[in-house]
Amino acid sequence: MTVLARLLIAFAGLCGAAGVGLAAAAAHLPDATRLGSASSMLLFHASAIIGAALLVERGLAHRLIGMLAACGFAVGIALFAGDLTLRQFAGHALFPMAAPSGGTTLIGSWLLLAVAALVAPRRPKC
């Protein structure tokens, strides 16, 4: 397994843990709907990162395009969830348009993953 794949999977583990933590905070803090959205994005896309990395490693998705998708998931959730979490706890945005930029990156990453699956090299049948 490549170093990048291992780093992405480790990052996904951190995102999963953060997603559970934010879900707990959302359940206990008043007016914390932003944290629920951030939690969902973290949890869903942590799994997507792991899946994309493993699809690439198994040869079921094009290596470069698939890893770009996995990296896009990582950047997208950092922007989206980071912005919502910062707004909740600090009262200000990460930067203007951070959450929409993260969401757009996530959409693009899903499309990249679809392309990666379609252009994956064919493996010889054994």
pLDDT digit string (tens) for 3-52? Answer: 999 999 999 999 999 999 999 999 999 999 999 999 999 999 999 999 99
Tokens 């951030």, residue located: 38
Q: Residue 58: its pLDDT value, please? A: 93
Return the C-alpha torsion angle 53, 66, 45, 105, nearest 10.
150
Amino acid letter for position 40: S
Question: Region 56-76: what's the mean pLDDT?
Answer: 96
Q: Spell out a b/e string for 68-85, using b for 16 or more CB atoms within 10 Å of the CB, else e.
A: bbbbbbbebbbbbbbbbb
Amino acid letter for position 18: A
pLDDT digit string (tens) for 68-123? Answer: 999 999 999 999 999 999 999 999 999 999 999 999 999 999 999 999 999 988 76
Q: Does the pTM of the predicted model rise above 0.85?
A: yes
pLDDT confidence tier of residue 126, bands split at 50, 70 and 90: low
**Closest listed residue to residue 44, CA positions, set 94, 81, 10:** 81
Residue 96 tokens read as 């203007």
State the average pLDDT for the chain.
Answer: 95
Residues 52/22, Cβ–Cβ less than 8 Å: no
